[in-house]
A and B are shown apart, each in its own frame.
Chain A
Amino acid sequence: MQIFTCPFCGARDETEFRFMGEAGKQRPEGGRAVGEAEWAAYLYLQRNEKGPVREIWMHQPCGELFLLARDNVTHAAEPGVGLRPEGA
């Protein structure tokens, strides 16, 4: 069993969490001006790094999205870091 740490609720069982995607993706600006290839890249392409990764996860009971730094080979995980700006 893997234990992940929600920045708000603390350490919980992996079954409560949901992988949302790799961190650092930027939605292309410019609406219709954005080409098909760029949209496809945003929607579908993944870096797929092996080893240390930074990902966005959701803790489903509280609904919070957060940054999880983890190693996808050893399964070691650092505590999750909230994504809200300070004080929000």
Chain B
Amino acid sequence: MTGYGAARLLREGLRGHRGWTPAWRSPEPKPDYDVVIVGGGGHGLATAYYLARVHGVRRVAVVEKGWIGGGNTGRNTTVVRSSYFYPESVALYDLALRLYEGLSRELDFNIMLSQRGILTVAHTEMEMDVCARIVNAMQINGTDAELFDAERVRRVAPLLATSPGSRYPVLGGFWQGRAGVARHDAVAWGYARAADRLGVDIIQNCEVLDFIVENGACAGVVTARGPIRAGRVGLAAASHSAVLAAKAGFELPLHVYTLQAMVSEPIKPALDTVVLSLGTGVYVSQSDKGELVFGGGIDRVTSFAQRGNPPVQEAVISGLLEMFPAFGQLKLMRQWAGIVDVAPDSSPIIGPSPLPGLFLNCGWGTGGFKAIPAGGFLMAHLLARGEHHEISRPFDLDRFARGALIDEAAGSGIAH
């Protein structure tokens, strides 16, 4: 037995938990693979899994400089949704949500997907118009969305300050019922275990330092543990994709910013949905442990420091307290940050890079946790076939020169 079923838990509990074995191997890197993926975040691990599972490409390595899921995948606030504006985005994020819906079963690993819905609230007439526009777009694009009046908002989030006297009075909002949260570590670990079982080598503590370039094409990577050759290389290193791009001789249209999040002390269940305010940019949900998990905008100082600055913390906390005055009694327990790779249109970059043989899956910025299954699925298609899946085509790097940006920052007023 290798699963985590009730019988096994009971048996291990009685035996002092001495029978558990690692969920994936820690192999030595082989000299060459069909595909090497740089970065063991959710996107890199999911790419490896779908390469092996869907395309039968099993000579695959994921090379991670630290530990898997230790980047943004393990630092995010785990909101999953497909409430985007443009058809291209809804196609992408709804594919991800559909894959998430079946993922615990597919991976035989509980990713704790909780489709508790996301409520986006509007505080002005203009924001109500924005909500109506997004709801129309989402429905036309084939995903679920509903426009709410103030009364329905109150019913879903009774602790939210909605009265005309509050700093941010609530006029209404919109609802996506299939949205929710999932456990971030479980997504990384579930994909890792499933990929490992299909023969993928997950190589941790192995930084990629450079690329092997032969005859003008990428032929592998140079790592801290020596060179590893590969037929194709996938770059899924989030913010460090931009740093590694320089080694491969090109630049990416990305800015690297800090994004922070915070949790309160744990309390009894008080909020059973995700709430996002269009006015404050703050969003909040309650974790299974009872903590309020919340965040807001990015620190607008380009940074690789992986820690946040007080001014944004202050803005986020005051936004939260204006929305939920009752939360003012709580203690803040932890604060942390990730470094996010933001494209000018706040949409990801998936596709070939300027260096033949090297492919990109980056630019997920502040919102790529929700996209992990789709990012992996589409990147696997690209690496196996050498060409785009129709859903990833619009997200190619060429959109910048073609002027075909998918401006979700403007379109859906994105938060995470």
B401 interfacial contact with A, CB 8 Å = yes
Question: A1–B245 Cα gap in the complex (Å)?
Answer: 31
Question: A21–B239 Cα gap in the complex (Å)?
Answer: 17
Segment of B14-22, B297-305, B330-338 engaged in the interface with chain A: B297-305
Question: A25–B309 Cα gap in the complex (Å)?
Answer: 28
What's the nearest-Cβ distance from chain A to residue B404, in Å? 11
Question: A19–B257 Cα gap in the complex (Å)?
Answer: 11
Q: Indicate if the CB atoms of A48 and B254 lie closer than 8 Å.
A: yes
A64 interfacial contact with B, CB 8 Å = no
**Looking across the interface, which residue of chain B has its beta carbon closest to that of A36?**
B401
Q: Which of A15, A18, A72 contacts B311 (CB 8 A)?
A: A15
What's the nearest-Cβ distance from chain A to residue B248, in Å? 13
**Looking across the interface, which residue of chain A has its beta carbon closest to that of B257?**
A19
Q: Indicate if the CB atoms of B246 and A48 lie closer than 8 Å.
A: yes
B310 interfacial contact with A, CB 8 Å = yes
Main secondary structure on B side of the interface with A: mixed
Question: A41–B264 Cα gap in the complex (Å)?
Answer: 43
Q: Which of B243, B253, B402 contacts A45 (CB 8 A)?
A: B253
A14 interfacial contact with B, CB 8 Å = yes
Q: Which of A45, A53, A74 contacts B302 (CB 8 A)?
A: A53
Main secondary structure on A side of the interface with B: mixed
Question: A2–B222 Cα gap in the complex (Å)?
Answer: 36
What's the nearest-Cβ distance from chain A to residue B39, in Å? 15
Interface residues of A in 23-68 (CB under 8 A from B): 36-37, 39-41, 43-51, 53, 55
A12 interfacial contact with B, CB 8 Å = no
Q: Which of A13, A46, A73 contacts B304 (CB 8 A)?
A: A73
Question: A55–B256 Cα gap in the complex (Å)?
Answer: 13
Residues from chain A with a CB closer than 8 A to the CB of B310 are 1
Please report the total number of A residues contacting B with Cβ < 8 Å. Answer: 27
**Looking across the interface, which residue of chain B has its beta carbon closest to that of A17?**
B301
Q: Which of A13, A72, A74 has the most CB of B within 10 A?
A: A72
Residues from chain B with a CB closer than 8 A to the CB of A14 are 301, 309, 311
Q: Indicate if the CB atoms of B252 and A73 lie closer than 8 Å.
A: no
Q: Which of B253, B256, B304, B403 has the most CB of A within 10 A?
A: B304
Q: Which of A2, A46, A72 contacts B252 (CB 8 A)?
A: A46
What's the nearest-Cβ distance from chain B to residue A73, in Å? 5
Q: Which of A18, A39, A47 contacts B246 (CB 8 A)?
A: A47
The 3 closest A-B pairs by CB, nearest first: A48-B242, A44-B253, A40-B401
Beyond A40-B401, A44-B253, A72-B304, 14 additional contacts (C-beta under 8 Å) are A1-B311, A2-B301, A15-B311, A37-B401, A45-B252, A46-B242, A46-B251, A48-B239, A48-B252, A48-B254, A51-B304, A72-B303, A72-B305, A73-B305
Q: What are 13 inter-chain pairs, A to B, with CB distance below 8 A?
A: A1-B310, A36-B401, A44-B253, A46-B242, A46-B253, A46-B254, A46-B255, A48-B245, A50-B243, A51-B304, A72-B256, A72-B302, A73-B304
